[in-house]
C-alpha cells in the first residue's frame, strides 16, 4: 500500500500566510498613513505651523491654487507646493523647540 499523495494546496498555505502577514503588518498601515497625510494636506489653513519635507519650519500665510505661501522668518516668505508639507507642528511642539 502506498502512502497518500500530499495535497498541493498545503504547499501554498505557508506562502499565503506570509503574504497575509506582510499585508497586515506593512502594506495596510502604510496605506492608512498615506490617506491621513492626504486628508491633512487638504485641510491646511492659514496660520498653521508646518514642517516641510526639506526640514524647514514655517507658518502658512496664504494659498495660490495647489501652492502655499509660507513665512519661514520675519523676512523670508516662500511659495511651496502643498505636497512639500511633511506634517503639522502642534503648539506644544513649537513651544518646546523655541525654548
Q: How far is CA 76 from the centre of its chain?
A: 27
Q: Which CATH class is domain 44-99?
A: mainly beta
The whole-angstrom separation of Cα 85 and Cα 48 is 11
Q: Cβ-count burial of 93 within 10 angstroms (0-12 exposed, 13-18 middle, 19+ buried)?
A: middle
Return the domain boundaries, the chain.
Answer: 1-43, 44-99
> pLDDT tens track of the chain, all 99 residues?
677 677 777 888 899 999 999 999 999 999 999 999 999 999 999 999 999 999 999 999 999 989 999 999 999 999 999 999 999 997 554 454 444
Which pTM does this prediction carry?
Answer: 0.69
| Dist. CA 60–CA 70, nearest whole Å | 4
Which pLDDT value is given to residue 1? 64
Amino acid at each position: 500500500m502506498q502512502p497518500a499523495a500530499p495535497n498541493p494546496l498545503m504547499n501554498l498555505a505557508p506562502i499565503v500566510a506570509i503574504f497575509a502577514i506582510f499585508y497586515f503588518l506593512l502594506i495596510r498601515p502604510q496605506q492608512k498613513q498615506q490617506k491621513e497625510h492626504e486628508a491633512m494636506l487638504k485641510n491646511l489653513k492659514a496660520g498653521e505651523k508646518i514642517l516641510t519635507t526639506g526640514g524647514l519650519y514655517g507658518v502658512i500665510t496664504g494659498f495660490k491654487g495647489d501652492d502655499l505661501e509660507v513665512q519661514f522668518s520675519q523676512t523670508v516668505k516662500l511659495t511651496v507646493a502643498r505636497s512639500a508639507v511633511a506634517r503639522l507642528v502642534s503648539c506644544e511642539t513649537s513651544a518646546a523647540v523655541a525654548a
